[in-house]
C-alpha cells in the first residue's frame, strides 16, 4: 500500500513527488507550469501518458499523491481509480476534469478519489491547498488504520488470553470437584464403620482418625479456595513485622519434611548463617516457602534432589535476600515457562489429578512475593532438566 511520509506535512526539506496521469501533453505542460509556480518549490511533477502502464506506475508507491485526468482515451480516470483501489493501492488520487459536473464529483468520491478539481480553476494556490489537505488527510487515515490494526491485534490477543483463562478455570473446577469429592467417601465409610462397631474401641479410633485426616484435607482445600478468592479480588493482607528470615524458613521446612521423606528425595540446605532480617508476614512467608518446597517435591521423583539455598545479593544498590529452591524434577518447557505463575496453570499436564493440584500455588506464591515488595522468578532449561525458583526479598 502506498504511504505518506509524516515529515512531508511539516517540512519542505524533501520534495513531494506528484504523478500526473494524462494523455494530453499540452495539459501536462499546463499542469507543470502551475506546479512550478507554487511558492516554495515543494512539489515535483512526473508525467505518464501511456494509459496501459499508468496503473502499474500509480501502484508502484514511488509517489505521494496522484493527479488523474478524467478523459484518458477509451478509458476514464474513474476506471483507473477503481482498478487501483481493487488492487489495494491507497495512494491519494485527485481527479482532474474539464467539466464542473456534480455527478462526476460524486462518482469520483464513490470510487475513492481524495478530491476533485476543475481544470479551469487550476491555479498554484488552489492546487497547493488541495495537495496539502489531501496529504494531511491521507496521513491521518494511515495513523487511524495503524491504531485500528493495533487495537484489533490487542483485542485478538485479549480474546485468546480470555479463552485460555476460561479453559484453565474449567480445568480448575473439574479438579476441585474431584478433590472435594475424594474425602467424602472415606468419611462416609468411617461413619458406617462407627455405626457397626459400637463395641469395638480400636475400630472406632481408626474411623475417628480417618475422619479427622479427611476433614483436615477438606479444610486445606477450603482455605485454598478462600486464598484464591482473596487473590482474585486483591484482598490479601499482611501482618508486617521485622523478623529473621530463618524463622519462616524453619516453619516451611518442618511443614514439608514429611512429603520430601515420603517421596524419598535428597534434601540439602545451603544457608548463609549470617542473620538476614526482613520485614514481612511470618505466616504468609512460611506459606510462600512451603509452596516452593512442596512444588519441588511434587514434581521430583526419587532419587531426585532438592536444594534450598539462602544468601543475599545487591541489585540496583538494593540489598536483597535470595531464597532459591532447586530441584532435579520434570522441568518446565520453554513454551510453558512464561505462564508458570498464571492462575490455574498446571506445569505438567501429564500428571494425575491427585498429583497435579489445583494450579493456584505458584500464582499465589508470586502474589505473596510481590506483596512483600519482592519478586519470584522461575528458570528451567527444559523438560526433564529440573527447575529453579528464585525469591528475592528486600533486606532490612
User: Alpha-carbon distance 255 to 11, whole Å?
Assistant: 70
From start to end of the chain, where are the E strands?
A: 16-21, 43-48, 65-69, 71-72, 75-76, 93-97, 115-118, 241-244, 266-271, 277-280, 305-315, 318-327, 375-379, 387-394
User: Alpha-carbon distance 150 to 163, whole Å?
Assistant: 20
Record the pTM. 0.54
User: Alpha-carbon distance 373 to 213, whole Å?
Assistant: 36
- DSSP H/E element including 381: none
CATH assignment of 241-394, given 3.30.230.10, 3.30.565.10, 3.30.70.260, 3.50.50.60?
Answer: 3.30.565.10
Q: Domain 6-148: state its class.
A: alpha beta
SS3 238: coil
- What are the domain boundaries of the chain? 6-148, 182-232, 241-394
Provide the pLDDT confidence category of residue 5 given band limits of 50, 70 and 90. Answer: very low
Selected residue with higher pLDDT from 103 and 352? 103
181: Cβ–Cβ under 8 A, 6 or more apart, which residues?
Answer: none
pLDDT tens digits along 103-153: 777 888 788 788 888 888 888 998 889 898 989 988 898 899 899 999 999
pLDDT tens digits along 77-115: 888 888 888 888 888 999 888 776 777 778 887 887 888
5: Cβ–Cβ under 8 A, 6 or more apart, which residues?
Answer: 14, 64
Question: Side-chain half-sphere of 240: how many Cα atoms within 13 Å?
Answer: 9
In this prediction, residue 347 carries a pLDDT of 61
Average pLDDT over residues 210-216: 85
pLDDT tens digits along 286-339: 989 999 999 999 999 999 999 999 998 988 889 999 999 999 999 999 988 988
User: Alpha-carbon distance 395 to 374, whole Å?
Assistant: 10
pLDDT tens digits along 153-179: 999 999 988 887 787 777 667 666 766
Contact by Cβ (8 Å): 207, 190: yes
Amino acid at each position: 500500500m502506498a504511504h505518506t511520509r509524516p515529515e512531508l506535512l511539516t517540512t519542505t526539506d524533501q520534495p513531494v513527488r506528484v504523478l500526473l496521469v494524462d494523455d494530453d501533453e499540452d495539459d501536462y505542460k499546463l499542469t507543470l507550469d502551475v506546479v512550478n509556480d507554487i511558492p516554495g518549490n515543494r512539489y515535483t511533477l512526473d508525467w505518464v501518458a501511456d494509459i496501459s502502464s499508468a496503473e502499474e506506475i500509480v501502484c508502484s508507491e514511488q509517489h505521494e499523491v496522484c493527479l488523474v485526468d478524467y478523459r484518458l482515451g477509451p478509458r476514464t480516470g474513474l476506471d483507473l481509480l477503481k482498478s487501483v483501489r481493487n488492487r489495494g493501492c491507497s495512494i491519494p488520487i485527485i481527479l482532474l476534469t474539464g467539466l464542473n459536473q456534480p455527478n462526476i464529483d460524486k462518482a469520483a468520491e464513490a470510487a475513492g478519489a481524495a478530491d476533485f478539481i476543475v481544470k479551469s480553476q487550476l491555479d498554484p494556490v488552489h492546487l497547493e491547498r488541495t495537495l496539502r489537505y489531501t496529504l494531511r488527510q491521507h496521513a491521518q487515515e494511515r495513523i487511524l488504520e495503524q491504531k485500528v490494526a493495533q487495537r484489533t491485534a490487542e483485542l485478538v490477543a485479549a480474546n485468546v488470553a480470555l479463552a485460555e483463562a476460561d479453559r484453565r478455570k474449567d480445568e480448575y473446577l473439574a479438579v476441585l470437584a474431584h478433590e472435594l469429592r475424594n474425602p467424602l467417601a472415606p468419611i462416609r465409610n468411617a461413619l458406617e464403620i462407627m455405626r457397626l462397631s459400637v463395641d469395638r474401641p480400636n475400630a472406632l479410633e481408626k474411623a475417628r482418625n480417618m475422619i479427622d485426616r479427611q476433614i483436615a484435607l477438606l479444610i486445606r482445600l477450603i482455605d485454598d479456595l478462600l486464598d484464591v478468592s482473596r487473590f482474585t479480588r486483591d484482598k490479601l493482607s499482611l501482618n508486617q513485622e521485622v523478623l529473621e528470615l530463618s524463622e519462616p524458613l524453619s516453619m516451611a521446612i518442618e511443614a514439608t519434611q514429611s512429603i520430601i521423606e515420603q517421596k524419598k528425595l535428597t534434601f540439602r540446605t545451603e544457608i548463609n548463617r549470617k542473620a538476614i532480617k526482613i520485614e514481612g508476614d511470618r505466616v504468609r512467608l512460611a506459606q510462600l516457602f512451603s509452596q516452593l518446597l512442596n512444588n519441588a517435591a511434587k514434581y521430583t521423583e526419587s532419587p531426585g534432589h532438592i536444594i534450598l539455598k539462602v544468601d543475599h545479593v545487591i541489585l540496583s544498590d538494593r540489598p536483597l535476600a535470595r531464597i532459591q529452591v532447586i530441584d532435579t524434577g520434570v522441568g518446565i518447557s520453554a513454551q510453558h515457562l512464561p505462564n508458570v505463575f498464571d492462575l490455574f496453570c498446571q506445569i505438567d499436564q501429564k500428571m494425575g489429578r491427585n498429583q497435579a493440584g489445583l494450579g493456584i500455588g505458584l500464582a499465589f506464591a508470586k502474589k505473596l512475593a510481590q506483596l512483600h515488595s519482592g519478586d519470584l522468578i522461575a528458570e528451567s532449561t527444559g523438560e526433564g532438566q529440573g527447575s529453579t525458583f528464585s525469591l528475592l526479598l528486600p533486606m532490612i
